[in-house]
Amino acid sequence: MTTDQELKELVRRKYSEIALQDKDSNMASCCGAGGCSTEVYNIMSDDYTQLKGYNPDADLGLGCGLPTEFAQIKPGDVVIDLGSGAGNDCFIARSLTGETGKVIGIDFTEAMIEKARINAEKLGFHNVEFRQGDIEKMPVTAKTADVIVSNCVLNLVPNKRNVVNEIFRVLKPHGHFSISDIVLVGELPKNLREAAEMYAGCVSGAIQKDDYLNLIKEAGFESITLQKEKVIHIPDDILSNYLSAEEITAFRNSDVGIYSVTVFARKPDCCDPEKGCC
């Protein structure tokens, strides 16, 4: 049995390697994790290049959506990006907050933090900072953020409930989040579920879509909205590392689906000490 800490160390090691890879290598695989496909196309991430604030040095091709596009960020907002990588979503968010706002990126991996700080320095952004930390216990005080974004990260965290509760704690009352992530409908084949590379690749660590939305509701959020949904197709040459030809055919013919979703939710204006929103 793999423990939560072992899974975290797996992610830390893999994303330290990814920080040194080029974007093309990351985009040709599942969330940058091994098993590079000979079908060289973008498996999960969307195209950021047309968004204001885009910086190619910060784009590692690791996302599965465009959460900043849906996040309703306003000038002057404090925005936190969970799993900020080389800073891609932070720099997009900064273009929306302007100089009067603040953007904080949090990442588990020292190599990613270093890369993001170098990128911010090159751009001369003094209101964007990067903090190394575990998003299950964010290095941020309560009621700090107006908006939280994240792109294909919660699926990598063993205890997703802890993260959702932390998001609630760190948001200001009436603050909101827009998060892109991978979810499942139906059960993955056993060999996919147990493959370490597919965990680091944002697939086998994903949970059921209904369970994901229920975690958000149970944490106390309201106005839960599915902003975008798309099917994720894993090429056969990646699947063949884990499944036989017969198993791939059965998987293709099953009702199991892997989806990228972008979810919006708002922290209510409330006075409930247990929810931390007084």
Q: Rounded to an integer, what distance in angstroms lies between the CA atom of residue 102 and that of residue 97?
A: 7
63 DSSP 8-state letter: -
Higher-confidence position of 205 and 256: 256
- Residues 230-258 as b/e (b if ≥16 CB within 10 A, e otherwise) read eebebbbebbeebbeeebbeebeeeeeeb
Which of the residue ranges 48-52, 251-255, 263-267 would you say has the lowest mean pLDDT?
Answer: 48-52
Cα separation, 69 vs 72, whole angstroms: 8
**CA-to-CA distance for 31 and 42, rounded, in angstroms?**
9
178 closest CA partner among 73, 104, 50? 73
Banded model confidence at residue 48, pLDDT cuts 50, 70, 90:
confident
**Distance of alpha carbon 117 from alpha carbon 43, whole angstroms:** 27
Cα torsion 139, 141, 142, 145: sign: negative
The per-residue pLDDT for 272 is 58
pLDDT: is 225 or 32 the higher one?
225
Domain ranges of the chain: 4-271
Query: Against a cut of 0.95, is the pTM above it?
Result: no
Provide DSSP, 213-249: HHHHHHTT-EEEEEEEEEE----HHHHTTTS-HHHHH
Strand 102-107 with 78-82, pairing: parallel
Closest CA to 238 of 43, 65, 20, 47: 43
Distance of CA 89 to the CA centre of its chain: 10
CATH fold for the domain made of 4-271: Rossmann fold (3.40.50)
Confidence of residue 40 (pLDDT cuts 50, 70, 90): very low
Cα 211 to Cα 186: distance, rounded to the nearest angstrom: 12
Rounded distance between C-alpha atoms, residue 149 and residue 124, angstroms? 22
What secondary structure does DSSP assign to 100-154, as a single string? TSEEEEEES-HHHHHHHHHHHHHHT-SSEEEEE--TTS-SS-TT-EEEEEEES-G
- State yes or no: pLDDT of 7 exceeds 90: no
pLDDT of residue 23 exceeding 60: no
Which of 8-17, 128-137, 204-213 is predicted with the least confidence, judged by mean pLDDT?
8-17
Residue 19, pLDDT above cutoff 70: no
* pLDDT given at position 201: 65
43-47, 143-147, 163-167, 190-194: least confident range? 43-47
How much is the pLDDT for 2? Answer: 67
Portion of the chain with pLDDT greater than 90, in percent:
62
pLDDT at site 204? 75
- For residues 152-170, one letter each, b for 16 or more C-beta atoms within 10 angstroms of the residue's C-beta and e for the rest, the string is bbbbbbbebeebbbbbbbb
Give the least confident one: 1-15, 45-59, 253-267: 1-15
Q: Inform me whether the pLDDT recorded for 32 exceeds 80.
A: no
- Strand partners for 177: 148, 265
What is the rounded CA–CA span in Å between residue 14 and residue 198?
A: 11
Beta-carbon contacts of 144 under 8 Å, excluding residues fewer than 6 positions away, are: 78, 80, 104, 170, 171, 172
pLDDT surpasses 50 at 60:
yes
pLDDT in tens, 69-118: 999 999 999 999 999 999 999 999 999 999 999 999 999 999 999 999 99
- Span 190-201, pLDDT tens digits: 998 888 677 666
Report pLDDT for 28. 45
What share of the chain in percent tops pLDDT 70?
Answer: 85
- 136 has pLDDT over 90: yes
8 Å CB contact between 170 and 80: yes
Separation between Cα atoms, residue 120 and residue 127, nearest integer Å = 9
Identify whether the C-beta of residue 167 lies closer than 8 Å to the C-beta of residue 197: no
